[in-house]
Amino acid sequence: MSIFGAHKVIDCDLHNELPALKALYPYLPDYWVDYCNESAFVGPDVNDYPKGAPTTARPETTPPGGGPPGSDLGLLRTQALDAWNAEFGILNCAYRVSSVHNQDLAAALATAINRWQIDEWLAKEPRLRASLVVASQNPLLAAEEIDRSGQHPGFVQVVLPVRSEAPYGNRRYDPIYAAAVRHNLVVGIQYGGAPGHPSTPSGWALTYLEEQAGMAAVFQSQVISMVIEGVFDRFPTLRVALIEGGFTWLPSLMWRIDKEWKGLRHNTPWVRRLPSEYMREHMRLTIQPIDGPANPVHLRQIIDQIDSDAMLMFATDYPHWRFDQPTDALPVALEEPLLTKILSENARAFYQLG
């Protein structure tokens, strides 16, 4: 029993962390093992969640035997799946091969980490589903990996970092979307990434706090790009999950993009419906971290303003520390059937589970 009583949840954002680069050696060709041993490479140079930042991990999630939080299946089982009475949990591995400049190495690491996910996570825990890691800086190599590993029934998603080399509406990413559709996989866009671009459209912010608070603005620009550059017109069955980006900015973005579209739609004739309709049809958002208003009435207003009961999906963001009390996971009282939809049924339909 969790705070949701008899409700089973589908937790749409669990993080499985690689304990160390060496854990991938059994899955890497000798060439790349030799390369890793002789070079300066120790893993992608990305710090979406710095190891000592309090928001990165709940204290109890550090494995007693060593390794980073999120690297221990046993702890994830008890602290996330069991604690929340989860029917399914979706792993979003944040190993950022997209930031590795050697794209051949990046692609080899992606293949390796996906095989590692099969052996160490999917094979050992039937409630888990996982997300394919791909070298998204090279969409052709990424599509090859989706074709290679996407056959495994445990994978339900391709995960991409929200910070990218080009806006995700750009046609350079079409091979990824085509492959995702081909294998009936969701494309999950996740907090973080380090493509080399500054973290804001005005250049580099100085502090991690700015980067973290500003990530919601990066999500907004990606949503605009995907809808307006016509991704969903080119791939009418594509489904996109927005993961760890918050959702209270969603109504404002829907209003703004609809309004601007009305004035300028003749420039983008392929966008045939209101942008917000594409969003409601093709996009879903995980609820944690909630950009939480202190007043639950305000949170409820935002949920109503979204004007869809299908878009929000429960998530704990385990092992990140984004709320203190279990009751803060969804800090507003919701009536049925909305509660059940958010806790499980929206994700079940979107990820086509069970």
Rounded to the nearest whole angstrom, what is the least distance from the CB of residue 68 to a copy of itself in the complex? 19
Query: What span, in angstroms and rounded, lies between the C-alpha atoms of 60 and 66?
Result: 12
HSE-CB for 83 with a 13 A CA cutoff: 16
Q: Is 321 left (phi over 0), alpha (psi -120 to 50) or beta?
A: beta
C-beta of 65 vs 269, nearer to a copy of itself: 269
* Closer by beta carbon to a copy of itself, 99 or else 111: 99
- Angle at CA of residue 119, ends 163 and 102, nearest 5°: 40
Instruction: Compute the half-sphere exposure of residue 28: CA atoms within 13 Å on the CB side of its CA.
Output: 21
CB of 200 to a copy of itself, least distance (A): 4
Q: Is 264:228 a contact under the CB 8 Å cutoff?
A: no
Task: Identify any residues that bridge with 187 across adjacent strands, giving them in sequence order.
Answer: 158, 240
Q: How far is the CB of 26 from a copy of itself (least distance, A)?
A: 34
Residue among 151 and 202 whose Cβ is closer to a copy of itself: 202
Q: How far is the CB of 214 from a copy of itself (least distance, A)?
A: 5
Cis amide prior to 59 (ω within 30 degrees): no
The tokens for 235 are: 């791939």
- All residues at 6 or more sequence positions from 4 whose CB lies less than 8 Å from its CB, including other chains: 84, 85, 339, 343
**Site residues for a copy of itself per CB under 8 A:** 53-55, 163-170, 195, 197-210, 212-214, 216-218, 220-222, 224-225, 228-229, 246, 248-249, 251-253, 255-257, 259-261, 263-265, 267-268, 289, 291-294, 298, 301-302, 305, 321
Nearer to a copy of itself, 305 or 352 (CB): 305
Q: Residue 85 or 221: which CB sits closer to a copy of itself?
A: 221
Comparison of 18 and 94: residue with beta carbon closer to a copy of itself: 94
Q: Whole-number minimum distance, CB 194 to a copy of itself, in Å?
A: 11
184 Ramachandran zone, left/alpha/beta (phi>0; psi -120 to 50): left
**From the CB of 56, what's the least distance to a copy of itself, in Å?**
10
Closest contact distance (angstroms) between CB of 213 and a copy of itself is 4
Q: Who contacts 291 (Cβ-Cβ below 8 Å, separation ≥6)?
A: 216, 246, 247, 248, 249
Pick 137 or 344: Cβ nearer a copy of itself: 137
